[in-house]
Structure 1
């Protein structure tokens, strides 16, 4: 029985998501082709100039914008941000500190705090289960 392995490929949109870049801002040859796993690994190990520039200046996809602002993607939507933003626009928002951003950052801080509390509680429960009292 012959075993021939074909290169695993992905759509450009998937590759862009994995690379953390906005698909529409990538070069045409990237958007119009397919990306192999080896190409993706090469992009991550040694990013070409266009990728370095996109990561540095944007425009950035919503998950990256949300991360850079310290809020959730839902928080972006609640704040009326539906389009990709450049690094410059993100920095301007951080400087302006609009009310919605302050509120969303506070909400995100509470979510993280609650997540840490639950994680600690679960770890304590697991420790008690591993070492029951005799």
Structure 2
């Protein structure tokens, strides 16, 4: 007797995180269901229009916002940015180049430099 293989599923929040999108901006049917590994692979391989639009225009989750700004998630929090931002809002922050952004980018660069230095010392 062969056991039937069942497909692993994940919560929509997990799938949204893996796709790099803000869950609350996804379609209701995505938010209300479960996502199988096969469905996730299909979304990554051939994203539907709603997913391409979210990735292009946002709103983006904080990890994506932080990466686009070149700062840490903690840096966003220190700057008072706790919500998802659209691509236009991110570009506006970049063009304004506020003091907090310069400071947080410098902090992030220093953290990366120290991590690289420690990695090199271990080698």
**TM-score (ref. length: structure 2):** 0.98
Q: CA deviation at 1:75?
A: 0.3
Moved over 2 A (4+): none
What is the match of residue 48 of structure 1? 48
How many residues align structurally? Answer: 123
Deviation at 1:9, TM superposition (A): 0.4
CA deviation profile, 1:23-81 (whole Å, cap 9, x unmatched) = 00000110011000000000000100000000000000000000000000000000000
Distance 2:28 2:103 in 1: 39
TM-score relative to the length of structure 1: 0.90
Q: Does 1:99 align with 2:64?
A: no
Structure 2 residue aligned with 1:121: 121
Question: What is the SS of the residue equivalent to 2:75?
Answer: helix
Is the radius of gyration larger for structure 1 or structure 2?
1
Q: Secondary structure at the match of 1:47?
A: coil
Stretches of structure 2 lacking an aligned partner (at least 5 in a row): none
1:2 Cα deviation from its structure 2 partner: 2.8
1:51-130 aligned within 5 A: 51-123=51-123
Distance 2:119 2:48 in 1: 39
